[in-house]
Amino acid sequence: MRLLLVEDDARIAADLTAALQAAGFRVEAARDGEQAWFLGDTEDYDLAVLDLGLPGLDGLTVLKRWRAAGRELPVLVLTARGAWTERVEGIEAGADDYLPKPFRMEELVARCRALIRRAGGRGSGRQTIGGLTLDTNRMTLSRDGLPLPLSPLEYRLVAYLAHHRDRVVPPGELLEHLYGDDDAREANALEAVVARLRRKLGAGVIGTRRGFGYFLEGAGAGGAAS
């Protein structure tokens, strides 16, 4: 799940990033309104967490611009304590939920998941792939009811393949999803994650179509013998 975090306070941003990453989100951060407006308008995110008090272009204006441009990503706004006018304005500007500061990280994570659940329309958030159950609400993958110990990166890879289970996903697209435009973007890194996952999940879960990409076995994307 790709999340845009807009927060100008560097320390708060670092704390939020750590908590959200630990919960399995891939976090990209914007420090001011201009950057936030640009990223939200040109990139695809599953969710944005938007602080309203920003230098320059304020959060409300950013949100209004996204909505005016037809960007429908779910947005959770962070408001100052007791500032009920901010909450009203935020909702009117198109926010999907709000959270007054200060808040607990657990609550932020729970609200982010709830928003994605509402937006995603994937029902219970559970999908069965072969003998495995992917729970996108809890962000777990389990076999026979026992969660498998996946790293956030590994989970994101499986969840992405499951979300696109009707097709073979090219390595470049997976790398983009896993690492964004970071320098960590190497085919070798992807192969290493896939290899690790295969050791954890066993054979017959993640298939390769040589020269094309990866897919989940039993999901119908692999086609005939490769």
Task: State in angstroms the smallest separation of the CB of 68 from Ca ion.
Answer: 23
Q: Please report how close the Cβ of residue 210 comes to Ca ion at its closest, in angstroms.
A: 49
Mark the segment that binds Ca ion (CB under 5 A) among 45-53, 99-107, 186-194, 197-205: 45-53
Task: Check binding of 152 to Ca ion (CB under 5 A).
Answer: no
Q: Which of 8, 46, 135, 217 binds Ca ion (CB under 5 A)?
A: 8
CB contact at 8 A, 61 and 33: yes
C-alpha span between 117 and 114 (Å, rounded): 5
Closer CB to Ca ion, 5 or 175, in the complex: 5
Measured at the CA of 168, the angle between CA 220 and CA 135, to 5 degrees, comes to 70
Are 198 and 205 in contact, with CB atoms under 8 Å apart?
Answer: yes
CA torsion 86-5-118-24 (nearest 10°) is -150
Nearest residue (CB) to Ca ion, 12 versus 148: 12
Please report whether residue 86 would count as binding Ca ion according to CB under 5 A.
no
Is 100 one of the binding residues for Ca ion (CB under 5 A)? no
Q: Which tokens hold the place of 1?
A: 């799940």
Q: Per CB under 5 A, which region of 47-55, 102-110, 171-179, 199-207 contacts Ca ion? A: 47-55
Residue 32 as a binder of Ca ion (CB under 5 A): the answer is no
How far apart are CB 219 and Ca ion at their closest, in Å? 43
Q: Does 15 bind Ca ion (CB under 5 A)?
A: no
How far apart (Å, rounded) are the C-alpha atoms in residues 157 and 141?
11
Longest pairwise C-alpha distance within the chain:
61
Tell me how many degrees the CA angle 82-85-88 measures, rounded to the nearest 5: 115
Question: Binding to Ca ion (CB under 5 A): which residues in 53-82?
Answer: 53
Identified binder of Ca ion from the candidate list 28, 51, 86, 89, rule CB under 5 A: 51
Q: Does residue 28 belong to the site contacting Ca ion (CB under 5 A)?
A: no
Measured from each CB, the residue nearest to Ca ion is: 53
- DSSP string for 129-147: ETTEEEETTTTEEEETTEE
Q: Where does this chain bind Ca ion (CB under 5 A)?
A: 8, 51, 53
